[in-house]
A and B are shown apart, each in its own frame.
Chain A
Amino acid sequence: MKPSAWHRLDEAARAVSPFAVTVLLALFSVIPQRAPDIAPVMPALVLIAVYFWSVFRPDLMPFWAIFLVGVVQDLLTGIPLGAGIVPLLLVHGYIGTQRRFFASATMPMLWIVFALVAAVALALTWVLSCLVLGALVDPTNAALQYLTTIAAYPCVAWLFAQAQMAFLSEQAPRVGGGR
C-alpha cells in the first residue's frame, strides 16, 4: 500500500522535529528573562540538544543540520561565528565513534559523559572565541555556564525523552541503529 500524502507529511514533520526543537532552543536562549545576571550563564541548551539527538537519533541529526544549528546559534547569541559550531560538530563526531558504548549507556552514565563532553566543548568555545576576539575573555562566566549546563541536562534530556517516546517511537531505529 502506498503511503498517503498526509502520512508522508506527518513522517517528514516527525523527522525534522529534533532539528526544529534545537533551533527553538537557540531562540529561547536569547529571550530576555530580566532575571539578574542570567544571560551570561544561560545553559548551553543547543549543546544539550545536539548531544541528546546525536546519541538517540543520529539519523535525524546529521552533520549539516548541526552546522546549520550552529550558525543560527552563533549569529543569534552574538558569539564569534564559527566558535560555537566546531564544538557541536566535534561532539556529534565523537558520539559517532563511540556508538557501541552509547547504545548500552544508562541515563546517569549519559549524564556523566555529557559533563566531560560539555567541559571540552565549552572550553573549546572559550578558546576559539578568545582567538577570534583577540582578547582574553574572563573565563568565570564560561565556567558558570558549564555548571548551569550540567545542571540543566537532566531536565532537558527528560523533556526530549518524553518527546521522543510521543512522536518518534513508532519509527524503527533505536539507539545505534542505522537505516
Chain B
Amino acid sequence: MATPLKAWAQRFAFVLLIGAAFGLMMLTKADTLVVERARVAVNDAVAPILDAVAEPVSTVNHVIQGARGVARLQQTNTNLRAEIERLSHWQQVAREVEAENASLRALLNFTPEPGKRFVAARVIGDQGSAFTRAVLVNAGSADGVAKGQAAVSGDGLVGRVAEVGHRSARILLITDINSRIPVVVGPRRDRAVLAGDNSLEGSLLYLASDTTVRVGDQVTTSGQGGVLPVGLSVGVVSAIDEKGVRVRSMVDWAHLEFLRIVDYEMPGLLAPLRDPGAAADSR
C-alpha cells in the first residue's frame, strides 16, 4: 500500500510534470529552434520504421485500386483517348508559345532562370491532425534536401520543407494553418499570399483591392523571396465570398505517395553563403 511519503512524491511528480508540459509550450512559443531540433530527432529516429511500414500499406492500397481500375478499364480508355485528342492540340499551342518565348527572351537578353534539381522522396508519415497538415518524407540533408525547398507532386505544389533531419524531412503542406506561399493569380498576374487554414482550400491574403480575380483563375507561385521556383501550379480560384478569395489545390491529398523536392539553386539570395567545397561534398 502507498505510504503517505509515496503519495506525496506522486503528487509532487504530477505537479512537476504538468509544469514541465506548460514549460514546453512556452518553449514552443518562444524558441522554435529547440523544438524543431527535437522534432527532427524524433522523426529521424522513426523514419526507418515508418519507411518499412509505409511500403506494405501502399502495396495493399495499390492492389485494391488495381482491382477497381480493371473494372473501369473500358470507360477509362475512352476518356483517355478523348483527353489525348484535346491535349495534343494544347501541346501544339504550347510548342508555339515556347518557341516564341525563347525567341523573345533572346531578343530581350533575359537573365536565364537558375538551375533546378529534383530529389524524389516517398511519403512515410502523415502528420495530419486536427491542428496541422504535414507529411514526413524519407529524404533528408543526406540527399541534399534543405529547409524552404518546394515539394511538388504531379498535380502541383504540395508544400515546402519545414524541418530537415539526416534522412527525413517534414513537409508543411500548403493547407496548413502556418503555410504562407507567395503567388500570382489569373491572367493579370496579381500578386498575393496564399494562406492555409487546415481545410482543403486556402485563402488569398494581401490581394490588391482593384484586382479582378474570377473563379477559375489559375494560381501559381510567384517566386518572390527567391525560395520557391516561379510558375509552379498551386491551384485554381474556387470561390469568392465575404470570407475572401478561396483557392483549391489540384493535389490529391488522400493519395500523396511520392513527392519531388525542388532544389532551386539560387545561391546567396536568402541562404547564408556556404563554402562551395562543403556544399559539393554534401551532395
Contact = CB atoms under 8 A, between A and B. Distances in A.
Interface of A: 27, 30-37, 39-42, 62-64, 66-67, 70-72, 75-83, 85-86, 89-90, 92-93, 96, 126, 128-129, 131-133, 135, 137-138, 141-142, 145, 178
B46 A76 contact: yes
Contact of B38 (A64, A75, A126): A75
Chain B binding surface, main DSSP class: helix
B102 to A, nearest CB: 40
B127 A30 contact: yes
A63 B7 CA distance: 13
A32 B17 contact: no
A32 B126 contact: yes
Contact of B198 (A36, A66, A141): A141
B49 to A, nearest CB: 7
Contacts of B123: 32
A71 B135 CA distance: 18
Contacts of A63: 10, 13-14, 17
Nearest to B58: A34
B254 A78 contact: no
B54 A138 contact: no
Given A81-B25, A82-B25, A138-B198, A64 B17 contact: yes
B279 interface: no
A63 B6 CA distance: 13
Given A32-B57, A93-B14, A132-B29, 4 more contacts: A63-B10, A77-B129, A82-B27, A178-B2
A64 B14 CA distance: 9
A142 B177 CA distance: 15
B126 A30 contact: yes
Nearest to A76: B42
B130 A83 contact: no
Interface in B251-270: 253-257
Q: Nearest 7 pairs between A and B by C-beta?
A: A39-B128, A82-B25, A36-B254, A82-B24, A85-B21, A141-B130, A32-B126
A139 B10 CA distance: 34
Contact of A31 (B50, B129, B255): B50
B151 interface: no
Contacts, number: 148
Nearest to A129: B131
B233 interface: no
Contacts of B255: 34
A30 B125 contact: yes
Given A30-B126, A33-B57, A34-B254, A76 B43 contact: yes
A154 to B, nearest CB: 22
A99 B10 CA distance: 14
Using C-beta atoms within 8 Å of the partner chain, give the interface range for chain B: 35 or more
B21 A86 contact: yes
B254 A35 contact: yes
Nearest to B252: A36
A66 B197 CA distance: 31
A2 B43 CA distance: 42
26 contacts: A27-B46, A27-B49, A27-B50, A30-B126, A30-B136, A32-B57, A32-B125, A34-B257, A39-B126, A42-B128, A63-B14, A70-B21, A72-B42, A78-B134, A79-B131, A81-B24, A81-B25, A81-B28, A82-B25, A82-B27, A82-B28, A89-B21, A96-B10, A131-B25, A137-B198, A138-B198
A137 B177 CA distance: 8
A47 to B, nearest CB: 13
Interface in B31-56: 35, 38-39, 42-43, 46, 49-50, 53-54
B129 A79 contact: yes
Given A32-B57, A34-B257, A36-B254, A82 B129 contact: no
A31 B125 contact: yes
| Most B C-beta atoms less than 10 A away, residue of A30, A31, A77, A85 | A30
Contacts of A128: 25
B244 to A, nearest CB: 15
Contact of A138 (B28, B53, B125, B199): B199
B5 interface: no
B256 A32 contact: yes
B177 A75 contact: no
A111 B227 CA distance: 50
